[in-house]
């Protein structure tokens, strides 16, 4: 554990010393097209696979001078002993192609780059300087970390962030570090702000390269509230959609069924498909489904008792586990 009485050395002679799933099945629209949001049931922390894995992704550069929020818009959360050299946070919003619906998931991943506190100081990755524990430095000349969860150590020059509404913080700021960090959008937020944990930005150097990602949404082309007879085969038809509901399904983006879970009792079972309808438990892309193509998996329900189930699947071996709901009677 870091020593709460650890004192930082003076950085320069002309400046003072600086002593992270519930599924929300929500349907919209009319008829047989159901758009389900917040369908990510499990988040993995390894990015892998081929093809398009994300519905939205963006790579940004976070300069060493970027403050994580504007103290003028958040007067109860002041930081730095001098605003000289501090620049605006990197702002991610719906204009960047991301959904800020409450409960939406975002992943922030540090890719490359290092940041230094200034001339004569070492460069560090997004975890920051491990010798510079900052959670307890404040309220005067505070580091942004002073306002974060004290049980999570935050170091100088670490990559940090906060959700906000037009620049006004929503919730509590948080450390991102090297990540990947999986974030859940809180109610009222319309931005994600990224910056550096520091108390003076005027002589900082370097930058971080960071990628922002958001999983697909699942648009069902069947009514999940209509129960099928146990033993029958259910054609699970769906599309991968972006945050605006546009179809992003493609024969180049494979879907792989991984299991079935009964949501009421968490009893899980293997995926069954009749004959060779779905070899290797892969969904089949059919360009004739829907208006511009969709996926289909013929799911055999033999042995399934009455209840509501989820068919789990992955997209292009990506890090998220998705689900399509169905019922058996």
Query: Coil, strand or helix: which one is 10?
Result: strand
> What is the structure's pLDDT at 58?
87
CA distances from 291 to 6, 192, 241, 286 (A): 63, 34, 13, 11
Centre a 10 Å sphere on the Cβ of residue 59 and count the other Cβ atoms it contains: 11
Residue 43 lies in a domain: no
Count of CB atoms situated within 10 Å of the CB of 244: 11
Please report which confidence band the pLDDT of residue 55 belongs to, taking 50, 70 and 90 as the band edges. Answer: low
70 with 187, same domain? Answer: yes
Q: What span, in angstroms and rounded, lies between the C-alpha atoms of 270 and 71? A: 53
Work out the average pLDDT over 187-207.
95
Same domain, 123 and 271: no
What pLDDT score was predicted for residue 210? 96
Is the pLDDT reported for residue 110 higher than 60? yes
Q: Is residue 320 part of a domain?
A: yes
222: containing domain? 217-328
* The token pair that represents 127 in the structure block: 């975890």
3 state DSSP class of 280? helix
301 or 4: which leads in pLDDT: 301
Of residues 133 and 265, the one with the higher pLDDT is 133
- Give me the percent of the chain exceeding a pLDDT of 90: 47
Residue 257 lies in a domain: yes
One domain, residues 71 and 204 = yes
Same domain, residue pair 144 and 240: no
Residue 6, pLDDT > 50, answer: no
Domain boundary among 191, 214, 237: 214
Q: What is the mean pLDDT of residues 241-246?
A: 78
Asked if the structure places residue 258 within a domain, the reply is yes
Higher pLDDT, 67 or 306: 67
Q: Is the pLDDT of residue 194 over 60?
A: yes
Structural domain includes residue 200: yes
The verdict on 197 and 257 lying in the same domain is no
Please check the confidence at residue 2 and state whether its pLDDT lies above 70: no
Residues 282 and 154 in one domain: no
Residues 210 and 233 in one domain: no
Residues 42 and 320 sit within 8 Å (Cβ to Cβ): yes
User: Any bridge partners for residue 62, and if so which?
Assistant: 208
The domain that holds 193 is classified in CATH as: 2.60.120.430
* One domain for residues 210 and 224: no
Identify the band that residue 237 occupies on the pLDDT scale cut at 50, 70 and 90. Answer: very high
Residues 229 and 107 reside in one and the same domain: no
CA distances from 9 to 17, 124, 203 (A): 6, 17, 16
Which one of 214, 243, 277 terminates a domain? Answer: 214
Task: Using the predicted structure, report yes or no on whether residue 152 has a pLDDT greater than 90.
Answer: yes
C-alpha distances in Å from residue 182, one per residue of 3, 177, 187, 213, 216 = 28, 12, 16, 9, 15
Instruction: Output the DSSP codes for 33-83.
Output: -EEE-S---EE-S----SS---SEEEEEEEETTB-SS-TTT-TTS---S--
Chain centre to alpha carbon of residue 169: 18
- Looking at the fold, whether 61 and 209 belong to one and the same domain comes out as yes
The answer to whether residue 312 scores a pLDDT higher than 80 is yes
Q: Tell me the CATH number at 246.
A: 2.60.40
| Domain end (from 199, 214, 229) | 214
189 and 265 in a single domain? The answer is no
**pLDDT number for residue 319:** 67
pLDDT in the model for residue 137: 83
What total of structural domains would you count in the chain? 2
Do 183 and 309 share a domain, yes or no?
no
Does pTM surpass 0.75? Answer: no
| Residue 269: CB atoms within 10 Å | 12
Six token digits for residue 17:
């010393």
Residue 192 binned pLDDT confidence (cut-offs 50, 70, 90): very high
């Amino acid at each position: 554990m870091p020593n709460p009485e650890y004192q930082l050395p003076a950085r320069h002679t002309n400046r003072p010393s600086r002593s992270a799933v519930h599924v929300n099945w929500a349907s919209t629209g009319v008829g047989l097209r159901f758009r389900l949001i917040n369908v990510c049931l499990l988040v993995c922390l390894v990015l892998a696979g081929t093809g398009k894995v994300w519905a939205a992704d963006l790579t940004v550069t976070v300069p060493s001078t970027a403050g994580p929020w504007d103290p003028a818009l958040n007067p109860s959360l002041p930081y730095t002993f001098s605003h000289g050299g501090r620049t605006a946070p990197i702002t991610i919003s719906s204009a960047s192609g991301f959904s800020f619906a409450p409960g939406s998931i975002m992943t922030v991943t540090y890719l490359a780059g290092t940041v230094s506190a200034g001339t004569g100081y070492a460069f560090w990755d997004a975890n920051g300087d491990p010798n510079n524990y900052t959670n307890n430095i404040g309220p005067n000349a505070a580091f942004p970390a002073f306002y974060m969860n004290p049980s999570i150590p935050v170091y100088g020059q670490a990559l940090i962030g906060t959700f906000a509404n037009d620049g006004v913080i929503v919730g509590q700021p948080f450390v991102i570090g090297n990540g990947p960090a999986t974030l859940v959008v809180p109610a009222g937020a319309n931005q994600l702000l990224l910056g550096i944990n520091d108390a003076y930005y005027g002589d900082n150097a370097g930058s971080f390269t960071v990628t922002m990602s958001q999983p697909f949404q699942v648009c069902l082309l069947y009514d999940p509230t209509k129960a099928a007879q146990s033993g029958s085969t259910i054609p699970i038809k769906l599309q991968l959609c972006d945050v605006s509901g546009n179809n992003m399904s493609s024969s180049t983006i494979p879907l792989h069924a991984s299991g079935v879970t009964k949501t009421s009792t968490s009893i899980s079972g293997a995926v069954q498909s009749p004959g060779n309808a779905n070899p290797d438990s892969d969904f089949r892309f059919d360009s004739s489904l829907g208006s511009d193509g969709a996926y289909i998996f013929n799911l055999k329900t033999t042995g399934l008792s009455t209840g509501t189930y989820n068919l789990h699947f992955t997209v292009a071996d990506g890090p998220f586990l998705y689900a399509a709901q169905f019922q058996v009677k």
